[in-house]
Amino acid sequence: MNGAPPVAASGLLFNSAPLHALVLGLVVVSLCMGVAAWSIWYERKFAARMQNRPGPTEVGPWGLLQPIADGLKMLQKEDIVPAAVDRPLFELAPLLVVVASLGTLAVIPWGDGLVIADLHIGVLFALALSSLMLLPVWMAGWASNNKYALLGGMRAIAQGVSYEIPLLLAATVPIVLAGSFRLGDIVEAQAGLRWFALWPPGPGAVAFVLFFMASLAEANRIPFDIPEAESELVAGVTVEYTGMKFGMFYLAEYLHTLIASAIAATLFLGGWDMGPLGAGVHWMVLKTLVLFAVIFWIRWSWLRLRADQLMALSWRWLVPLGLVLVMASATWVVLA
Amino acid sequence: MRMPLDLLLPSWPDPHLDLGEYDPEADLVALNMGPQHPSTHGVLRVKLYLDGETVVKAVPYVGYLHRGVEKLCEKLTYVQITPIVDKNDYVSPMMNEWAVNAAFEALLGVEPPPRAQYMRTIFAEIQRIASHLISIGTWGLDMGGAIGGGATVFLYCLRERELILDLFEEVTGCRFHYNTHTVGGMRHDLPAGWDKRAKAVLDRISARTWEYERFLLDNPICRQRAEGIAVVDPTLAMELGVSGPILRASGVDYDMRRDAPYGAYGDIDIQVPVRTEGDALARALVRIAEMRESARIASTLLDGVPEGPIGALKPVKLHGAVKLKDGEEGYAAIESPRGELGTYVVAARERRGAASPYRLKIRSPSYHAISLLPWLCPGHTLSDVVVIIGSIDPIMGEVDR
Amino acid sequence: MLQAVIFYLLAIATVLSGLAVITRRNPIASAVSLVVTFFFLAALYVMLGAHFVAVTQVLVYAGAVMVLFVFVIMLLNLRGTDPRELPDLAPRGLVGLAVAGFIGMGLVVSIDALRLVDMGPVADDFGTIQQVGTIIFDGTYLLPFEVASALLTVAMVGAVVLAKREI
Amino acid sequence: MNPYVPVAFAILIAIVFSLVFVGLSYYFGPRRPTKTKTAVYECGMPPVGTTRQRFSVKFYMVAVLFLLFDLEAVFLYPWATQYSTLLDSFPGTFVLGEMAVFLGVLFIGWFYCLKRGAFQWD
Amino acid sequence: MDQVGLYPVLFTSALLFGLGVTGVLTRRNVLIVLMSIELMLNGVNLAFVGFARHLGQVDGHAFAIFVMAVAAAEAAVGLALVLLLFRHKTSVDLETFDLLRG
């Protein structure tokens, strides 16, 4: 994964465009799944260091093989399907939740031309798919025939839709500034370190914070993790899932967080471009991982909000703030 | 079936919200919270009736950790009882030991020597700090989750608690269920230099209490979750027999250590922290203030531990040292971290050379605190219920016994 | 050829899932079928070059409208029961199909009259958000756009007034 | 090539991956269901009442507000994308104004909801 | 789409609309009736998009978006009415909603 891609020249890895897309898709999807799996190790170490304890140490050096051990363990677990569940929805939900989070990967530009599909509706595609993740989560809660799961599912949808609006509004700011809907164009508009998070001063920075907050809520991370709030709802929607199906929800959660970080890095932090320091995949990966680490940091230092406080926060403050930001950035474009 | 609470409490209305407009079958959701639930502090079961997420009615059920301790004590000699009751309030075992042994001493008419009294008082105050640390830490878990910021709070609390367990281990050889109190005194004497190490630990802890205070007061999420939640009415609390930090957070200035001194508390001036808000945050703040005060009390007492014997009776002479008649009774109460922890004991005549109580009854503060739940929960949401349970800090070991 | 096959497959799937919407007894099953219909329609829109409309379809219909339906179904909690069917089911069904036939014929006839049959290639940027944005905001459809905001506001007020009442 | 073909590829790969995971666990995992094991979890107690319960109307309010604001975002996006281009041919006040009127009318609705307490969920 | 032409698109659109009409006429569950109305609106949208593709003008897309706005408003108010009626009648059967019938 290093710098100056030979890809950029022709834009294709192979002579055939479908083959290029297929191989790139395989590589990106496998890499992201690997990163998501190892980020669980990383988060456990990170949290352990914050809490005066060593974290995983047993499997491999520094416990690095822990995700493999976890995966193997999950494979051997019995897949318990409780009686009285809605069988088709119950089986389908863990698959869909992973598929919905991986589908978003298709439009994220990792480097110049290094994107599976550079759609001209890229931003909206990513946001629409990430909001679609709510449906399988709700399906899981409803199909489980369990009150805790159902409450978790209802909370997941209520919270997800509440924060979808600030997310959409905050994403409008880079679109107004860049004048394009294509993620690649948005990165190019930020060339030369004119990141939208820094420039224009004011709306950009606030929009970045708003987007990041809403992404946390969409990915159900603390302080917005009420759908699975284990101290209240035990494990929320995943309470009846065991073995690999539970693992899929877990994986999807980390994938979603990773993808949210990547989108935030693309929209607000200049994507693969790093101004005078050059451009390349490594900058995009670095920015994504830094945002990822910030999410962990927040998770292990904050408490959880209450469901109603969470929604009131969104509707009372974040939605009008998002509207004001859109108008402010538009005014800035007129004046500039 | 609901307990006929109006019979017990003529002056208090039914705690549950008015069910008039609800059709319980159609609109309310009955939900078992506990016994197997991560944040009911053990095996408390609360049956909640929810309208959406709002609690309309909450009924606590106890008894899932019933071990028959009181019945068991009727078959054990007075000396054998101490390690059994250790497990009652499993977060502060020293307090259980002191409470039963004080009752036995009242029954037998034995007075422990001053050194033992000082040791008991110092141990109790250090134990109070350890217990409150767990209370604050698990409250953090309730609000922030075991996989999140709450776990960080919890582990920082455990960091300080480890120091205290090290201190106790040095004296008794045990980190937890110490079995160090005995009738008429103590079993283990203080090792040389222990007082200096203890003072160092106490200084460190009282210097760090600000961390917990800031964690509560400077954290907007914590304030939003805890401020104004579950305000306890002082009159209701007194009628239900609630004591300890819950009562003091509601503005009732009552502390056994100052108002009915026992042990070495008579020798020292005690500042009782009182707050008037009565909400969940106030209870936590009272606990933190008590931690600071306990560290001060223990440090002061450590300077003046008198020399002398640590037991009034030689353990081998305990049987037969005092002849007990049927029906003689003794009661003693101490201020445990959760409130007034009392033991009532009725003596039975010796049988085959061994003396056992005819009846032993433990008055545990957590049991009374749990009776508040039907009044505290209605009107709050499901998420608040865990905050409420965490803030009244019940220990199911002593509730169910 | 491939294009035609994909189109017909999608069209058949759309109609079949639409049929499932009106034949399922359980409203949850109907709602799930409706989501599936919306997705197939979005795919059809993509094939017709309506990229922005396709994504909007997913965002608004498959996302928001479905969430609303699902919530209402759960609010009412119908436990999978549907009211008894009407006695004169067959005639009513026939009326529906007749309407479909009539409209289909009408469309086809009018198109024949206008001689608009074949579908030529379009520019690469056809149906992009840029084109749609231009046509709405360059003044052509400015009035409907502003009226839409009034419509949304009225709907918001109406829903609040209705749902907040005596609950 | 249609730009959506790679998207279909990515989704296909995701489906294959997740099927492989579940398939492997189906192959390796034991399967010994018992009555207790397949019981519904409700904190160790037999469940009380039904799970197919009714929910509070506040969830409906969230969904309605989401739907209407979602549409607002749908109208916002074409405008945001074409904003710079439109500025070339129209005065800034016009381009800004048409959206300001749109958002202003919606803002009235938002304010009404705020006053009616539609944003209170406790 | 040059291999398919406009007819099949319009035919699909008409079928969807017809399914919607059939649903409105035959079902008594008011929720499914509302879903059928959504089907009808979607059928119309498909026709709009098909014509837009055929004519090479995106006006049809703008119409489709406006139709979505109408559909959303209709669903919001319609379902609020259903909720209110359900509170009064504890039913979603259309036949029971006959307050205005003499």
Task: Assess if residue D69 is contained within a domain.
Answer: yes
In the numeric block, which tokens belong to residue E54? 């055929």
Work out the average pLDDT over C21-46: 84
The residue segments making up the domain with residue B247 are 69-400
Work out the average pLDDT over B29-53: 79
With CB atoms and an 8 Å threshold, state whether D67 touches E75: yes
Task: Assess if residue C149 is contained within a domain.
Answer: yes
Query: What is the per-residue pLDDT across C125-150, written as a single tens digit (0 to 9) for each?
Result: 677 777 777 788 777 788 888 888 88
Q: Which of B61, B77, B99 is the last residue of a domain?
A: B61
The Cα B227–Cα C23 span in angstroms is 52
Residue C46 Cα, gap to closest chain E Cα (Å)? 10
With CB atoms and an 8 Å threshold, state whether A304 touches B29: no
Task: Assess if residue D48 is contained within a domain.
Answer: no
Residue of E nearest to D76 (CA): E65
pTM: 0.81
Number of domains in chain D: 1
Q: Does domain E6-94 match CATH 1.10.287.3510?
A: yes
Which partners does chain A have (≥3 C-beta pairs < 8 Å)? B, C, D
Half-sphere exposure of B23 (CA within 13 A, CB side): 7
Write down the pLDDT at residue A46.
84
With CB atoms and an 8 Å threshold, state whether B35 touches D42: no
With CB atoms and an 8 Å threshold, state whether A120 touches C66: no
The residue segments making up the domain with residue D77 are 57-116
Query: What is the per-residue pLDDT across E18-75, written as a single tens digit (0 to 9) for each?
Result: 888 888 888 777 888 888 898 989 998 998 888 888 777 888 888 888 898 888 888 8
Verify that B320 and B304 share a domain, yes or no.
yes
In the numeric block, which tokens belong to residue C84? 């008894």
- Look at residue B245 and tell me whether its pLDDT is greater than 80: yes
Task: Assess if residue D99 is contained within a domain.
Answer: yes
The Cα E91–Cα C82 span in angstroms is 10
CB atoms < 10 A from the CB of B300, how many?
15
With CB atoms and an 8 Å threshold, state whether A161 touches D63: yes
- Please name which of C66, C54, C59 lies closest in space to residue C21, comparing C-alpha atoms: C66
Q: What is the mean pLDDT of chain A?
A: 80
Task: Assess if residue C62 is contained within a domain.
Answer: yes
- Look at residue E98 and tell me whether its pLDDT is greater than 50: yes
Write down the pLDDT at residue A10.
43
In the numeric block, which tokens belong to residue A136? 């399988």
- Look at residue A130 and tell me whether its pLDDT is greater than 80: no
Identify the residue with better confidence: B137 or C88.
Answer: B137
Residue D49 Cα, gap to closest chain B Cα (Å)? 6
With CB atoms and an 8 Å threshold, state whether B54 touches D56: yes
Yes or no: say if A105 and A263 are a contact pair by the CB < 8 Å rule: no
- Look at residue B3 and tell me whether its pLDDT is greater than 50: no
**Contacts of B224 by beta carbon, 8 Å cutoff, 6+ apart:** A305, A306, A309
The Cα A101–Cα D10 span in angstroms is 11
- Look at residue A9 and tell me whether its pLDDT is greater than 50: no
Q: Name chain D contacts of E79, Cβ cutoff 8 Å.
A: 60, 64
Yes or no: say if B332 and B361 are a contact pair by the CB < 8 Å rule: no
With CB atoms and an 8 Å threshold, state whether D74 touches E68: yes
Tell me the backbone φ, ψ of residue B60, rounded to 5 degrees: -80, 140
Residue for token digits 């459809």?
A: C141
Among A181-195, B20-34, B107-121, name the one with the lowest average pLDDT. Answer: B20-34
The Cα D54–Cα B51 span in angstroms is 9
Work out the average pLDDT over B91-107: 88
Q: Compute and round to an integer the Cα radius of gyration of chain A.
A: 20
Query: What is the per-residue pLDDT across A281-314, written as a single tens digit (0 to 9) for each?
Result: 888 888 888 888 888 888 888 888 887 788 888 8
Q: Name chain E contacts of C121, Cβ cutoff 8 Å.
A: 2
The Cα D49–Cα B48 span in angstroms is 12
With CB atoms and an 8 Å threshold, state whether B148 touches A147: no
Select the residue of E54, E69, E76 nearest C159 (Cβ to Cβ): E76
Q: The CATH number of the domain where C60 resides is what?
A: 1.20.120.1200
Write down the pLDDT at residue A6.
40
Verify that B168 and B38 share a domain, yes or no.
no
Number of domains in chain C: 1
User: What is the ipTM score, two decimals?
Assistant: 0.78
Write down the pLDDT at residue C84.
59
Work out the average pLDDT over A132-138: 82
Peptide bond into A227 cis (omega under 30): no
Write down the pLDDT at residue B121.
92
Number of domains in chain B: 2
Write down the pLDDT at residue A147.
81
Yes or no: say if B370 and B118 are a contact pair by the CB < 8 Å rule: no
Identify the residue with better confidence: E88 or A242.
Answer: A242
Does A214 lie at the interface with D, CB-CB under 8 angstroms? Answer: no
Query: What is the per-residue pLDDT across B287-327, written as a single tens digit (0 to 9) for each?
Result: 988 998 999 899 888 888 888 888 776 654 555 555 666 77
Query: What is the per-residue pLDDT across C89-102, written as a single tens digit (0 to 9) for each?
Result: 677 777 777 777 77
Write down the pLDDT at residue B251.
85
Size of interface B-D (CB pairs under 8 A): 35
- Look at residue B237 and tell me whether its pLDDT is greater than 50: yes
Helix axes of E59-89 and C66-76: crossing angle, nearest 10 degrees: 10
Which partners does chain C have (≥3 C-beta pairs < 8 Å)? A, D, E
- Look at residue A4 and tell me whether its pLDDT is greater than 50: no
Write down the pLDDT at residue B8.
45
Residue of A nearest to B148 (CA): A300
Share of residues in chain A with pLDDT > 70 (%): 92
Query: What is the per-residue pLDDT across A196-243, written as a single tens digit (0 to 9) for each?
Result: 777 777 778 888 888 888 888 877 776 677 666 666 777 778 888 888
Taking the domains of chain E in order of start, what are their residue ranges? 6-94
With CB atoms and an 8 Å threshold, state whether D122 touches B47: no
- Look at residue D55 and tell me whether its pLDDT is greater than 60: yes
Identify the residue with better confidence: D44 or D79.
Answer: D79
Cα angle for residues E48, E53, E57 (degrees, 5° grid): 85
* Greatest Cα pair distance in chain E: 56
Work out the average pLDDT over B14-32: 58
The Cα B261–Cα B298 span in angstroms is 15
The residue segments making up the domain with residue C55 are 2-78+125-166
Q: What is the mean pLDDT of chain D?
A: 79
